[in-house]
């Protein structure tokens, strides 16, 4: 296997990112990230991969209900603490001054409880997919930006990852190259339809790196229990993204998943699913490590992740790219108005709770960073223009330094094709 830069270059060598885990140590699985990937790679079907990943997360006692934290977020509001960040200026008292997302004014009673059990929905797609290899939708381009090659999709996803990390971490954006590489995996699955088994079995690589290569670096750099946890979060993201895309490709606009998640005024189900498909949770841990946020509760990581996704959508709405998404979380034939009110109300509740409960500044900032990156990153403006913008010389240099020079191998390039439907 070829890796362009086995030892990533850049400022990371002088400032290694190590330290104690950021995430709470609740995983049933006690092995390393490399061992986890190795075990997961033995799965032969999407259903087996789901079972193995879930077993590592919850253990055998989990009854796979809405209480299961691998697929759901049964939230308990955090107790008050000593704030470590300033309150957002966009808050419950100012929200009605801005028409973000539409809907009504802030609603303090927005529900934060699941109504839909994701398990049967995901099982149904897993049964439909089987081994998840060789479907026509595999490796199709979902970026809506007209990429001509897989190399282009990978290169732009890595640009996005660098820019995201800078918006979250400032000048420390390159302190942990593996955190940037991990973020790039979380970006590319939005752009390409990638079979999850290809992720765990190493057939999908970015700049020569597989998920297992990242796991190895995490283990070597002392990520501890954060390593297997972010890997499981990434695999969860790939499985849910794949389920969404396979369903959309088989019947655009009328998927079982979307129909179930969006059928009532309850916004929580679609919001959690949506946060999973962006893997905000796994990336929050990576960002917390870069910034040395210290130990964080499950609630802080999840609330910050939800706010990260919702602040992005709140800002996509006024610049008219929210509606470009294949699956937007508030879509509903009957309840979209209530759902939009709930969507931004949940954001306003959670971002205040993060501050009031004393969450690390890194996670508060991560939660509201959608207000920053939608404005500053080409990714969003490219979506509106349906075409790519040229890479700047600075980004080209950083791509070389942080990732390498060969974005896609020949087998990925052969499998890449445009996606037409939808
Ligand atoms: Zn579970």
Q: How far is the CA of 280 from the centre of ligand 1 (A)?
A: 19
Q: How far is the CA of 55 from the centre of ligand 1 (A)?
A: 7
Q: How far is the CA of 286 from the centre of ligand 1 (A)?
A: 23
Q: How far is the CA of 236 from the centre of ligand 1 (A)?
A: 12
Q: How far is the CA of 191 from the centre of ligand 1 (A)?
A: 28
Q: How far is the CA of 30 from the centre of ligand 1 (A)?
A: 16
Asked if residue 306 lies in contact with residue 271, where contact means CB atoms within 8 angstroms, the answer is yes
Q: How far is the CA of 68 from the centre of ligand 1 (A)?
A: 4
Which residues sit opposite 209 in a β-bridge? 206
Cβ neighbours of residue 377 under 8 Å, at least 6 residues apart?
160, 163, 164, 167
* Number of neighbouring beta carbons within 10 Å of residue 93: 11
Cα–Cα distance measured from residue 268 to residue 284, given in angstroms and rounded to the nearest whole number: 20
Q: What is the pLDDT of residue 25?
A: 92
Q: How far is the CA of 52 from the centre of ligand 1 (A)?
A: 11
Q: How far is the CA of 54 from the centre of ligand 1 (A)?
A: 6
Asked if residue 204 lies in contact with residue 212, where contact means CB atoms within 8 angstroms, the answer is no
The CATH code of domain 25-418 reads 1.10.600
Q: How far is the CA of 22 from the centre of ligand 1 (A)?
A: 21
Question: Which sequence spans correspond to the domains of the chain?
Answer: 25-418
Q: What is the pLDDT of residue 421?
A: 57
Q: What is the pLDDT of residue 277?
A: 95
Q: How far is the CA of 64 from the centre of ligand 1 (A)?
A: 5
Return the structure tokens found at 3.
Answer: 């890796």
Q: How far is the CA of 261 from the centre of ligand 1 (A)?
A: 19
Q: How far is the CA of 66 from the centre of ligand 1 (A)?
A: 9
Cα–Cα distance measured from residue 24 to residue 229, given in angstroms and rounded to the nearest whole number: 10
Cα–Cα distance measured from residue 215 to residue 230, given in angstroms and rounded to the nearest whole number: 9
Q: How far is the CA of 63 from the centre of ligand 1 (A)?
A: 7
Cα–Cα distance measured from residue 314 to residue 90, given in angstroms and rounded to the nearest whole number: 11
Q: How far is the CA of 70 from the centre of ligand 1 (A)?
A: 5
CA 271 remoteness from chain centre: 12
Q: How far is the CA of 119 from the centre of ligand 1 (A)?
A: 9
Q: Per-residue pLDDT for the chain (422 aa), expressed as one digit of tens each? A: 344 443 333 333 334 455 789 999 999 999 999 999 999 999 999 999 999 999 999 999 999 999 999 999 999 999 999 999 999 999 999 998 988 877 678 999 999 999 999 999 999 889 888 755 578 899 999 988 999 999 999 999 999 999 999 999 999 999 999 999 999 999 999 999 999 999 999 999 999 999 999 999 999 999 999 999 999 999 999 999 999 898 888 776 666 777 788 888 899 999 999 999 999 999 999 999 999 999 999 999 999 999 999 999 898 877 766 666 656 777 777 777 888 889 999 999 999 999 999 999 999 999 999 999 888 999 988 988 889 999 999 999 999 999 999 999 999 999 999 876 54
Q: How far is the CA of 71 from the centre of ligand 1 (A)?
A: 7
Per DSSP, the chain holds a count of helices (H) and strands (E) of: 18, 2
């Amino acid at each position: 296997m070829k890796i362009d830069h086995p030892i990533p270059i850049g400022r990371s060598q002088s400032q290694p990112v190590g330290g104690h885990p950021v995430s709470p140590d609740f995983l049933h699985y006690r092995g390393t990230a490399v061992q986890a990937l190795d075990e997961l790679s033995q799965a032969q079907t999407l259903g087996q991969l789901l079972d193995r990943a879930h077993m590592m997360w919850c253990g055998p006692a989990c009854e796979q209900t809405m209480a299961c934290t691998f697929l759901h977020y049964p939230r308990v509001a955090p107790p008050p603490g000593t704030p470590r960040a300033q309150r957002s200026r966009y808050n419950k008292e100012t929200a009605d001054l801005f028409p973000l997302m539409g809907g009504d004014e802030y609603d303090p009673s927005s529900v934060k409880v699941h109504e839909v059990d994701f398990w049967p929905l995901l099982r149904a797609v897993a049964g439909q997919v089987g081994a998840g290899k060789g479907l026509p939708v595999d490796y199709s381009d979902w970026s809506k930006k007209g990429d001509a090659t897989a190399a282009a999709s990978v290169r732009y996803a890595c640009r996005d990852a660098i820019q995201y990390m800078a918006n979250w971490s400032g000048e420390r954006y390159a302190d942990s190259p593996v955190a940037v590489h991990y973020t790039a995996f979380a970006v590319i699955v939005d752009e390409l339809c990638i079979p999850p088994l290809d992720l765990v079995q190493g057939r999908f690589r970015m700049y020569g790196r597989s998920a297992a290569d990242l796991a190895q670096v995490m283990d070597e750099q002392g990520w501890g229990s954060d390593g297997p946890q972010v890997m499981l979060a990434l695999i969860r993201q790939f499985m849910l993204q794949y389920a969404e895309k396979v369903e959309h490709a088989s019947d655009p606009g009328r998927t079982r998943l979307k129909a179930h998640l969006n059928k009532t005024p309850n916004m929580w189900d679609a919001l959690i699913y949506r946060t999973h498909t962006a893997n905000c949770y796994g990336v929050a841990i990576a960002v917390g490590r870069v910034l040395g946020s210290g130990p964080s509760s499950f609630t802080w990581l999840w609330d910050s992740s939800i706010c990260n996704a919702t602040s992005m959508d709140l800002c996509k709405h006024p610049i008219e790219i929210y509606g470009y998404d294949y699956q937007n979380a508030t879509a509903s034939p009957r309840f979209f108005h209530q759902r939009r009110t709930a969507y931004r109300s949940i954001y306003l509740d959670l971002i205040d709770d993060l501050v009031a409960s004393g969450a690390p500044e890194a996670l508060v900032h991560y939660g509201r960073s959608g207000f920053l990156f939608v404005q500053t990153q080409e990714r969003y403006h490219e979506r509106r223009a349906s075409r790519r913008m040229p890479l700047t010389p600075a980004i080209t240099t950083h791509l070389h330094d942080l990732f390498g020079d060969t974005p896609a191998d020949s087998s990925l390039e052969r499998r890449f094709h445009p996606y037409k439907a939808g």
